[in-house]
Structure 1
Amino acid sequence: MPVLLSLALGLGLWGLRRHGSLWRDEVVTYDMAHRNLPDLWGTLGNVDAVHGLYYLLMHALYTVFDDTDPLLVMRLPSVLATAAATAGVVLLGRRLASPGAGLLAGFAFALLPLVQQHAQEGRSYALVCALVVWATYLLVWAVATRTTTLWCGYGTLLLAAGLLHEFAVLALAAHALAVPRATRRRWALTAAPVVVGLAPLAVLSTRQSEQVGWIGYDIVAYVTFAGLTALALACARVLPRSSGPRTVDLSTLALCLFITPTALLLLMSVLQPLYVDRYVLYGDAGLALLIGAAMHRLGRRRWIRIAAAATVLALIPTTLDLRDSASRVDNVTSIAGTIEQLGEPGHGVLYMPLRRRVWSLPYPNAVSGLRDLALDQSPVASRTLYGTEVPAPVIRSRMLETPRIVAVRDPAGQPEDAIAQEAVKREVLVAHFEECRTREVRGARVTVFARPGDC
């Protein structure tokens, strides 16, 4: 166990700062955590309630560690949570199979790319994963011992996980399928308060459903899940089954934990796209349990040892890439630096679309002296994530009054928002300005526009 905890911590701490880079979701964490409590609470009533408890936690941490490197304050909780989740996977494997199976499961879990990625992100997913893993461990223990305290602990941890991110509630469905029939009534009595406790958050977040409007159908994600499901089923086939009124079977539990939450999310996505792999990160604990137990059972076979060694070697490039500043969808630090280099006092700045205003929130000096041509109310004043913008005619008037504009845009080829404000930004730039120079950075284009002949 100490060796595996050292591995999980080492992987989490290695390259934790990613050369000082942030990506857009972490910027939201940083911005929300630095709002005063009335503004934070008011914002959660309008948007991002699903992450409210996490933002409150980060607000407290930044209050206590105000003079510490903000990137470390943001990401260390995820590092520690991943180490805790790794320990929980080890104990689950040990209890359901053997000490050797538990150690191999913990090793597999710590190395999974998705786990490594979210061990180093300032978001809630690693914390949710740790809580679900330990809730699962308490569930297995409670089934075996019929101890009321353990059942209460199980429900408490799952409630906390759901309050950090509501899709943790999908773990309840996995547990419902995995517990022995003799204990399903006791499980249901414990699960009911969890569902009731999460209901207000679910109702509020449903009213804020436009937040997930960016999620689309990603065929790669579906294919990846199908491939990993095939691997999980193959591992389960080589494992012995255990049965009894007070026994949880490892294969059943692990398969349910890995497959059920994701499958439910995919089914829900038929009505509205909702599937993002990080929302069900905790499912990787089930996959790791199956891999670890199967490796332990077949470990004496030479081809298994060769395959395991080859897999670890194959993960090295991914492990290195995850610690690079270009490993996320954008690099806000680089984007803000580029805005600062290209913009000059008196220039206008346009965010296209408005949600890209988040790119400059942690670096206000980058836009110092630039006039935000579309801004109506700032994110804090409007109690939103990205601020609000004036009507399209006002944006047009402001743009035509400005000789040079710095446009901060998505990369070429991205879908364009059809709302009036975004349409008028594009229309006026095409009709009345010419492109002077563009600098492409990770996840963005920063372009200086000027009146024809004035570049």
Structure 2
Amino acid sequence: MQTLAPLAPPRPEPAVEPTLGDRLRARWLCWLVPALVTGVVVAFRAGTPEPWRDELATWSAAHRTVPQIVELGRHIDGVTVPYYLLAHVMAGFGDSVLVLRLPSMFAATATAAVTALLARRLWGPRAALTAGLLVAAMPVVSRYGQEARGYALAALFSVTATLLLLRALDSARWWAWLAYTTSVLLLGWSHQIALLLLIGHAVAVAVIRRRAVAAWLATVVVAAAGVVPFALLGMGQRATQLDWLSAAEPADLADVLQTVFLSGVIGGAVGAFAVMALRTRDRRAPLLLLSALLPVLTLYAVDQLVTPMFVGRYLVFVVPLLCALAGRALADLRLPLGLTVVLVLAAIGLPAQEEIRRTHSGFDYRRAAALIHAQDRPGDGIIYAPRDGWHFTDIALRYYLGDDVPKDVLLQSDEVADASLWATECADPAACLTGTDRVWVLSGDNLETGRRAGPTDQLTPAQQAVLTGSFRQVTQTRVDGFTIALFVRGRR
């Protein structure tokens, strides 16, 4: 009988070295693809929506000298001075609002890349790819990526600071802390309310590496030193800048995802996926969620206890953090299924994307300017109503018509001379209208109620008396947000 030799144990399969293509997909494509997609999405028709009132304020500030911008900050928008200085630099490359929007467009593109890098560092390339593409699919990213204000920059520096904090906690090198300090400084310069992110960072430092609390505090103090001068400029300006706000209701807090993401369905889905990411055993996931959640709750508390300031666009900086968490949850699915979810959310957001590229407000400054320009005559004057409101119609007409704007008959001193966003009108409208036989009145609708303005509803009693006593109305036209009337001297 033949004895069988015992079977030899199977040889282990030799380890397969990752190919160059594998390394490329893992290290580069997971963030490069989202950045390219976001860049294309944000650039699509970026110059089509006309500037709304906040962007008109940016345009006005950008065309002032540096000392004039600083002086403006002493009266209004003190916290926005760093952004206005950036806009001033951009204005040197062109006069269009598209040029002013370029920093926001680049910031939105970079936000997708950095969000992917954050997710890659925490959970790998698959989470990175889905997180970055989620950023590209968000209507809110396109909305503020196509706006000449600092919200897209705040989103970029929010996720950048979070990534650099993790690197600093891992390496504890001085240069890592310096990079984090710089990102926090830029975050504060882009939008000071975004510094609420540091509440979540403080919790993360205490949990992940308690020994680093002193180093973290030192970096925050250094960064704050660069923000404080602009914070001091803005002190006492709340009554001027946020007088249109009232305290938020509990329903406003409940609807915060709708408000921030510009879509309740998309915001709810991203929020749900972000919570699902907590299933991972990685304790950094709940800390990242806290970094997004605590600023929202803190801003609501300030709104209730100190002064109203609970505004959805002030919280855009939490969007990339939630997208990073949602990318982690989608990474548990097969890649084709995860990408399908991203495509479905992008499809849901298409109506909002279309609306974003049509208008940023309900005020058609372009048509109002074109209508007046088509019918004005040499010697015509114009009156803006209300002059002290947030419509900025005088700035808008200068943007569209340049030197072809009818004479501002009630102008006493312009907004640059007043270091303001509003001009000063003469106290005697009858004397100021002497010699003017035709005068346009451009009346903006009520910003709070949306109530349509009549031709003279928002003029002062003295201005109304002059128009009704010495002029007769010959035309009246409506465009979105405005009533335009032409008055000719003579009795009715």
With the shorter chain as reference, the TM-score category is 0.7 to 0.9
Question: Unpaired segments of 5 or more residues in structure 2?
Answer: 1-30, 259-266
Equivalent position SS for 1:362: helix
Select which of 366, 383, 386 maps to 1:333. 366
Could you tell me which residue of structure 2 aligns to residue 290 of structure 1?
Answer: 325
Closer/same/farther in 2, CA of residues 415 and 262 from structure 1, 3 Å limit: farther
1:16 to 22, 46, 49: 46
Query: What's 1:236 paired with?
Result: 275
Residue 437 (1) aligns with residue 475 (2):
yes
Shift in CA distance, 313/203, structure 1 to aligned 2, threshold 3 Å: same
Q: For the aligned residues, what is the CA RMSD?
A: 3.2
**CA distance in structure 1 between the aligned counterparts of 2:451 and 2:225, rounded to whole angstroms:** 39
Residues 1:318 and 2:352 are matched in the alignment:
yes
Q: Distance in 2 between matches of 1:425 and 1:178?
A: 60
Partner of 1:136: 162
Does the Cα contact within 8 Å between 1:169 and 1:195 map onto a contact in 2? Answer: no
Is the contact between residue 119 and residue 128 of structure 2 (CA under 8 Å) also seen in structure 1? yes
Aligned residue number for residue 38 of structure 1: 67
Q: Evaluate the alpha carbon distance shift between residue 425 and residue 285 of structure 1 in structure 2; reply closer, same or farther with a 3 A threshold.
A: farther
1:266 and 2:266 matched? no
Residue in structure 1 matched with residue 135 of structure 2 by the alignment: 109
Q: Tell me the residue number matched to 1:344.
A: 377
State the shift of 1:38 in Å.
Answer: 3.1
Displacement after TM superposition at 1:431 (Å): 4.9
After superposition, the Cα gap between the structure-2 partners of 1:185 and 1:321, relative to the gap in structure 1 and judged at 3 Å, is same
Bigger Cα displacement from structure 2, 190-199 vs 126-135:
190-199
Q: Considering only CA atoms, is the larger Rg found in Structure 1 or Structure 2?
A: 2
Label 1:60 to 1:234 Cα distance change in 2 as closer, same or farther (>3 A): closer
Would the alpha carbon gap of residues 202 and 117 (structure 1) be closer, same or farther in structure 2, given more than 3 Å must change?
Answer: same
- What secondary structure does 1:72 align onto? helix
**Equivalent residue, structure 1, for 2:18:** none
Q: Deviations over 1:326-358 (max 9, x none)?
A: 343434333322232343333331111114322
Aligned to 1:191: 220
Residue 418 (structure 2) aligns with? 382
Letter of the 2:201 counterpart: H
Q: Is the 8 A contact 2:197 2:292 kept in 1?
A: no
Label 1:305 to 1:425 Cα distance change in 2 as closer, same or farther (>3 A): farther
1:445–1:167 CA distance, 2 compared to 1 (3 A): same
Any idea what SS the aligned residue of 1:382 has? coil
Query: Residues 99, 160 of structure 1: CA spacing in aligned structure 2 closer, same or farther, 3 A cutoff?
Result: same
The reply on whether 1:225 has 2:251 as its aligned counterpart is no
Q: Report matched runs for 1:400-415 at 5 Å.
A: 403-411=437-445, 413-414=449-450
Q: Deviations over 1:392-443 (max 9, x none)?
A: xx135545875543121212654799xxx95326743785466533333333
In the other structure, the counterpart of 1:73 is: 99
Give yes or no for the alignment of 1:6 onto 2:42: no
The answer to whether the Cα contact below 8 Å between 2:130 and 2:342 also exists between their aligned partners in 1 is: no
TM-score, reference length from structure 1: 0.85
Counterpart of 1:381 in 2: which secondary structure?
coil
Among all aligned residue pairs of Structure 1 and Structure 2, give the percentage whose two residues are the same amino acid. Answer: 26
Question: Could you report, residue by residue, the CA deviation over 1:190-228 in whole angstroms, capped at 9, with x for unpaired residues?
Answer: 222223432232222022221222334577864531564
Matches within 5 A, 1:126-165: 126-165=152-191
How far apart, in 2, do the equivalents of 1:329 and 1:178 lie? 42
What is the correspondence of 1:386-401 to structure 2 with a 5 Å cutoff?
386-391=422-427, 394-395=428-429, 398=432
> Is contact 1:396-1:424 (8 Å) kept?
no
Aligned equivalents of 1:296 and 1:26: distance in 2? 38
Query: What do the CA deviations read for 1:291-331 (whole angstroms, capped 9, x no partner)?
Result: 211112245797x776544322111222222222x343434
d(CA) in 2 for partners of 1:226 and 1:5? 24
Deviations 1:84-134 (A, max 9, x none): 111110011111112111111111112211111111112222122212221
Corresponding position of 2:487:
449
Stretch moving more, 284-293 or 425-434: 425-434
- C-alpha change, 1:434 and 1:295, in structure 2 (3 Å) is farther
Of the three residues 86, 92, 106, the one matched with 2:112 is: 86
Cα distance change of structure 1 residues 176 and 298 upon mapping to structure 2, 3 Å threshold: same
Residue number in structure 1 paired with 2:55: 26
Whether the 8 Å contact between 2:181 and 2:223 is mirrored in structure 1 is yes
> Is the CA contact (8 Å cut-off) linking 2:412 and 2:426 kept in structure 1?
yes
Structure 1 residue runs of 5 or longer lacking an equivalent are none
Q: Is the 8 A contact 2:161 2:183 kept in 1?
A: yes
Structure 2: how far apart are the matches of 1:223 and 1:188?
33
Deviations 1:30-66 (A, max 9, x none): 2211222333332222222222112222222333x2x
Q: Which residue is 2:7 aligned to? A: none
Amino acid at match of 1:177: V
Q: Return closer, same or farther for 1:382/1:251 CA change in 2, 3 Å cut-off.
A: same
1:371 aligns with 2:407: yes
Contact 1:343 1:367 in 2 (8 A): no
Amino acid at match of 1:133: V
2:311 and 2:459 map into 1 onto residues whose CA distance is 27
Structure 1 residues 237, 5: CA separation in 2 closer, same or farther (over 3 Å shift)?
Answer: closer
Distance 2:229 2:354 in 1: 41
Q: Post-superposition shift, 1:377?
A: 0.3
Number of residue equivalences? 438
